[in-house]
Amino acid sequence: MISVEEALRILLANLPEPGVETVEFRSSLGRVLAEDLLATSDIPPFDRCAMDGYAVRAEDTRPAPVELAVAGESRAGGGMPAGLEAGSAVSIMTGAPVPPGADAVVVVEQCRRSADRSRVEILEPVGCGDNIAPRGCEARVGDPVLRKGHRVGPSEIAVMASFGHARVRVYRKPTVAILATGDELVEIDREPRPDQIRNSNAYCLAAQLELLGFSSDYLGIALDAREDLERKITAGLQRDILIMTGGVSMGEYDLVRDVFRDLGLEILFSKVSIKPGKPTVFARKGDRLIFGLPGNPVSALTTFECFVRPALGRLCGMKKPELPRMKGTLLGDVKQVSGRTAFLPAWVFWEGEEWKVDPLPWKSSADIVGYTGANAAYIFPKHLDRLQRGDRVEIMLLPDFFARQR
């Protein structure tokens, strides 16, 4: 049995190189850029007005108050204005080009227009450059505006549109298949016998993948029979990632291990010092990765976040795809058998000047109903057997932490 840290080290050392593809820029949302994107023009492309008011020569506003002739108007999309002569002003709107010869804008609140609209009184002087965004102050032609490795959000989509990057190179998302195993499982539309349960893990894992931005192919339930297991695993190996759930606990693992070896899979680890989720398997065949997650629902959910998420995220070009962690103050006493790092359900909230960690009742790794009350997991160090109220603990926020409500 290896530590969580050693399992992650092995996992990350065995990831293939990420693939790259070209996509339409609107489809790049949530993806990671595989190239630098450069400015194709200066932004702004002209000296741009930052406030509604009057474009002037700063020296003409001193001493204030002073009256200037209104020589015209400049508005966004209205074309480039004519040059400004001394002793005059141009009415200007936010975002419009500043006329040549003007070096400042007086905001409209500091102006008084004459009744016949031909003149304007400037009530306060301005300095050179006031309320003007100079040409190229945001980006110059050839400047990198988005770097390789940058994850694309709404503002990045706007940048691509601004510079005409209609198609962009991003890291390819791996294809993923999910396979449930076990004679005890039936599908959700079936009535289970007294010795059976409905398959929930595959749907939980698909939902976790969706929150990470992945779609997945569900391969169904494999029976505890070599022929069926081998056939469905072979189908799963047509994808980049195969996530199996069940069939990896002591006794059950013998069959899975034999099928893995028959199919030429290299098993890199099969037991991790984590609670829940000790019987977690990681294997590979060439560039194909296989995760064997435990059959208990909370174990499968936890080991996905601890091991599958870091792998999938990096294959998409993410630098640090792990769930965010922070420190909080425990609100109750908790006991555990020492020896394995435990990820236990909690409700975490901000109160006063710190995060508070309310530990939820822990029945077993099968208690997915109890886990629905959690928005985070607190981490119980493997060398301890008790934590006390008031202790500072590390917490791992669940993917939908900010959306969950109590």
3 state SS of 228: helix
Tell me what pLDDT residue 363 has: 83
pLDDT tens-place string over residues 39-58? 999 999 999 999 999 999 99
Q: Provide the pLDDT for residue 248.
A: 73
pLDDT at 221: 95
CA quadruple 352, 354, 355, 357: dihedral, nearest 10: -80
Residue 250's pLDDT band (cuts 50, 70, 90): low
- Digit-coded pLDDT (tens) for 266-307: 999 999 999 999 999 999 999 999 999 999 999 999 999 999
What confidence tens digit (pLDDT) does each residue in 190-228 have? 999 999 999 999 999 999 999 999 999 999 999 988 999
CATH dotted code for 4-19+173-316: 3.40.980.10
> Domain 48-133 belongs to what topology?
Molybdopterin biosynthesis moeA protein; domain 3 (2.170.190)
pLDDT digits (tens, 9 = 90+) for 94-119: 999 999 999 999 999 999 999 999 99
Give bridge partners of residue 166 from the DSSP assignment.
none
Name the residue ranges covered by the structural domains of the chain.
4-19+173-316, 20-43+138-171, 48-133, 325-397
Nearest to 233 by CA among 244, 247, 225: 244
Q: Which CATH class is domain 20-43+138-171?
A: alpha beta
Calculate the average pLDDT of the chain: 95
**Residue percentage of the chain with pLDDT more than 90:** 93
Average pLDDT over residues 127-147: 97
- DSSP readout, 175-209? PEEEEEE-TTEE-TTS---TT-EE--HHHHHHHHH
Q: Each residue of 361-397: pLDDT tens digit?
A: 988 898 999 999 999 999 999 999 999 999 999 999 9
Region 124-130: mean pLDDT is 97
Tens of pLDDT, residue by residue over 139-158, are 999 999 999 999 999 999 99
pLDDT value of position 366:
87
CATH assignment of 325-397?
A: 2.40.340.10
- The encoded tokens of residue 405 equal 């409500």
pLDDT at 318: 95
